[in-house]
Amino acid sequence: MAVPPALVASHLTRRFDTRVAVDDVSLELAPGEIFALLGPNGAGKTTTLRMLAGLIKPSAGSVAVHGRIGFLTEAPGLWDRLTVERNLMVHARLHGLDNPARAVDEALDLFDIGARKRDRAAQLSKGLKQRVALARSLLHRPDIVLLDEPTSGLDPESARDVRELILRLRSERRAVLISTHNLDEVERVADRVAVLRARLVALDTPAALRARLFGSRVLVRLASPAAPFADVLKPACTDVRADDRTLSIAVNDVEGAAPGIVRALVQAGAEVVSVVADQAPLEEVYLRLLDEEKP
């Protein structure tokens, strides 16, 4: 039986006076899925997240939510003069949790910030603030987690920590939507990607977007010059290029085609050193999509 989506946005539109910030955006989010919302500044990412979180109303369209929502805002938004523990406690009580003290203790443990619980928020590094903010957004155990640029401005180590926390959310079967500029982050964690420029430019898995724009290729590195083996793969593979000791073969499905290619080459006497999928960087995919969208 198909798992029902955790969140369904249908034809979301938001106008500010005459400006259309978000135009007819529809998307679904499944439990245990990490969904990345990409787009340039001013593309409507934050407005979309705010509509999904119920903070602002859409001018048209609707949002159906099955479960509780946790929202990590773009800025950590901690009360600087209050301790970490107090910051969390206030939010736990605002969410009306039965045992706010226990929820706070669990969050402190889960996010490994217990040692800093008596520190004022102002004393924390940017990475720690983000960690506390993430803990705060999960205090009420939301089923859907909306993260607005969760690693923005963080050093690589802090960003990695946040990414690990995001992956943990997936393992807990929570639906996660990340708005970000960080393509490397998307590459590492996202199951599906939507590119937004007021309206949805594209929505698919990163691999499918790559395949749609650049096609899929398999790179086979051989122990000897590759040119003599190029014809071995034809006519099954129509687009085969040889460059020094490497063969580049266009395929529809990398995982499906690779075993047959290797088998044919070995039977022809080639010594295969390595086989890898030739992937265009997600950045190229993203920029190509935005270029195609330009009027």
Partner 1 sequence: MSRIAALLGKELADLRSNPAVFIPAIITGVISIVMPFAIAIAVPYFSGERLADSSDFKIALEIYRDQPATRSLDPEGAIQAMIFQQFLIMLVLTPVAGAMSVAAYAVVGEKQARTLEPLLATPITTFELLAAKVLGALLPGIALATACFALYVGGVMLFAHPGVYRTLFFPRALLTIFLLGPLASLAALQMAVCVSSRVNDARSAQQIGALIILPISVLLVAEFTNNLQLTSRLVLLISSGLAALNVALMAVGIRLFDRESILTRWK
Residues binding partner 1 (CB under 8 A): 16, 47, 50, 53, 55-57, 71, 73, 75-82, 86, 90-91, 93-96, 120, 133, 136-137
Which residues are within 8 A (CB) of 282 and not within 5 positions of it... i.e. 6 or more apart?
183, 184, 186, 187, 193, 206, 209, 210
Q: Which of 72/265 has CB closer to partner 1?
A: 72
Q: Are 216 and 206 in contact (CB under 8 A)?
A: no
Q: Are 115 and 108 in contact (CB under 8 A)?
A: no
Least spacing, CB of residue 71 vs partner 1, in Å: 4
Least spacing, CB of residue 294 vs partner 1, in Å: 26
Least spacing, CB of residue 234 vs partner 1, in Å: 58
Neighbour-count burial of 20, counting CB atoms closer than 10 A to its CB (0-12 exposed, 13-18 middle, 19+ buried) = middle
Both structure tokens of 269: 């006497």
Q: Which of 51/202 has CB closer to partner 1?
A: 51
In whole angstroms, what is the distance from residue 177 CA to residue 265 CA? 43
Q: Which of 78/209 has CB closer to partner 1?
A: 78
Q: Which of 23/237 has CB closer to partner 1?
A: 23
Q: Which of 18/238 has CB closer to partner 1?
A: 18
Least spacing, CB of residue 256 vs partner 1, in Å: 44
Q: Which of 94/287 has CB closer to partner 1?
A: 94
Least spacing, CB of residue 140 vs partner 1, in Å: 9
Give, as one character, the DSSP assignment of residue 10: E
Half-sphere exposure of 275 (CA within 13 A, CB side): 17
Least spacing, CB of residue 79 vs partner 1, in Å: 6
Phi, psi dihedral angles at 116 (to 5 degrees): -105, 15
Which residues are within 8 A (CB) of 91 and not within 5 positions of it... i.e. 6 or more apart?
136, 139
